[in-house]
Chains A and B, each alone.
Chain A
Amino acid sequence: IKTKDTFKVKLENVMYMGSFDDDFFEELEETLILSDLGVETSMKITEQLRSKIKETRAKTKEEVMAYLKEIIADMVRIEQKPWTTPMIILMVGVNGVGKTTTIAKLASRYKAEGKKVMVAAADTFRAAATEQLEEWSKRVGVDIIKSTKGADPSSVVFDAIGAARARKTDILICDTAGRLHNKVNLMKELEKISRIVNREGEGFTIHNLMVLDATTGQNALNQAKVFHECVEISGIVLTKLDGTSKGGIAIAIIDEMQIPIEYVGIGEKQEDLIEFDPLKFVDLLFE
């Protein structure tokens, strides 16, 4: 199924006919749903565009496209928490979304900016999770605090914050094990980790980043809600946007929960991370 061209092509066709009729709006809604925005958000956007066109009597394809992009970009443009150092970043999210890889990317970026970076291997559960982060820390060239498999992740974080303070680290990034949001015990464990970060991290800016795989469908809304209740998410990192998924569910999440996207992952290498740009993100939806 090629979702890529259909909307643009349809838009062209509609323009030749010179009217934005129900077919056009239906096509738009389909395009949005196929990008994982979900029925509700897709309908909301379509309705907003409908009234905008009515109100402005927009006629050209360019005008309509510009309004559409504006509507969505306004939705996703949310104020970000300041990134002041010293800082602790806690990475959270469900299994396999890209938490550990994103830590490597962030570490590499901050290091290049001249910051002193440290990572903490607080996923003590998954097979070779620590080894994975350790390998990355070597490649990137940053310090790592780790423990043994099965150790209490909170204590790893506790130790790491102590070490970060002692070594005058600018940015400490803590990995956590992937966990599904409906696992009550695992979410309690995460709550505890976060409590330690808040308690021990006095003087540090604290960012709880939730990593979201762009391939994920509507379940991501549940994920975000429960994680947010548990640790108060300050921002989202949207990964795997180098695929053909559009990551539209992030728009639904932002719209509903007012959490900003901070970074976007576009590959598996340490340099494959870009800052979130609302307009570029919206462009991608209709590419």
Chain B
Amino acid sequence: MIFEGLNEKFQNIFSQLKRKGKLNEKDIQAASREIKLALLEADVNFKVVKQFTKNISERAIGQEVMNSLTPGQQFIKIVNDEMTTLLGGEIERMDFIDGRRNVYMMVGLQGAGKTTTAGKVANLLRKEKKFKPLLVACDVYRPAAIKQLEILGEELNIDVYSEHDIKDPVGIAKRGLKKAEDGHYDLVIFDTAGRLQIDEALMEELVKIKETILPTEILLTVDAMTGQESVNVANEFNRLLDITGVILTKLDGDTRGGAALSITFTTGKSIKYIGTGEKLADIELFYPDRMASRILGMGDVLSFIDKA
């Protein structure tokens, strides 16, 4: 039953609601319950689900049901439209200014995909924007984290700044930036160690790195399979660092990825890229409409609606 998504359940419920006219409260209540369950099964945070469906229900009451649709389908259409807007309402792509050095900082929980994504972003923007990138290894904690970034750099033929015997991430960041200035690199990406948002000492370290390198982008990397916790993670990283965007990784899995909605809903920050594999080419722009369909568990919401 789980992961089936809305498709079948909805067909059943709404084949009964054939009445045309305006959406009434009863239609919406029935539909809203199913949407809630679907969103929870997709790992959208419970509180976000509540608020989101409440907003939508209020908006939906009294709306005309389009001729071709049943009330249920009309409601899904509203949900889908609203979710797409939320996910991409203020979609800002990376913000590049000619002649300015782009300084990016990767942050996030342990194992989210920061190091891999640092390599991916450097590679992508070198290709698309002809940047000369430098990767800086500020994870001094995880065994072989520096080596990992160095190997990625080697594979991509991208330079890496690292210090092997110095356990001072802030100092490394400072000298990494200096190297970027001296070497005329116009894109510098700082990899940082994974950390829990409740780890005060390590979060403070990120604040210090931020103050040292003055990043133009702070990218929170989040595993797309994250459950209810995504809200706490995003909120806390955002509160302390004022992140500029989110990268959602491991979307090549079969997760519905409700974390995407939770994060944008609570922080208002947009998802800029998605990771779609372990290889360094596996990165794509984020498309809100596709994500909405995925969260709702319908390969394509519009084709579902067309089945009216």
Contacts and interface: CB of A to CB of B under 8 A. Distances in A.
B253 A219 contact: yes
Which residue, of B226, B231, B232, B278, has the highest number of chain A Cβ atoms within 10 A? Answer: B278
A39 B223 contact: no
A219 B111 contact: no
Contact of A34 (B112, B228, B233): B228
A218 B42 contact: yes
Interface in B228-257: 228-229, 231-233, 235, 250, 252-256
A127 B152 contact: yes
B142 A268 contact: yes
A162 to B, nearest CB: 26
Given A39-B41, A96-B112, A220 B198 contact: no
A96 B113 contact: yes
B111 A36 contact: no
A268 B47 CA distance: 30
A33 B228 contact: yes
B2 A181 contact: no
Interface in B109-146: 109-113, 116, 141-145
Interface in A1-30: 1, 3, 30
Contacts, number: 145
A216 B229 CA distance: 8
A136 interface: yes
A33 B43 CA distance: 9
Secondary structure dominating the interface of A: loop
A94 to B, nearest CB: 7
Secondary structure dominating the interface of B: loop
Interface residues of A, number: 46
Nearest to A220: B225
Contact of B250 (A38, A40, A95): A95
A219 B142 contact: no
A279 interface: no
Nearest to A137: B143
Contact of A128 (B111, B151, B228, B231): B151
Contact of A132 (B2, B112, B148, B198): B148
Nearest to B1: A40
A46 to B, nearest CB: 14
B278 A243 contact: no
Nearest to A249: B227
Interface of A: 1, 3, 30, 33-36, 38-40, 94-98, 125-128, 131-132, 134-136, 139, 180-183, 213, 215-222, 240, 242-245, 248-249, 268
Identify the 5 closest CB pairs spanning chains A and B, nearest first. Answer: A217-B227, A96-B111, A217-B43, A128-B148, A135-B143
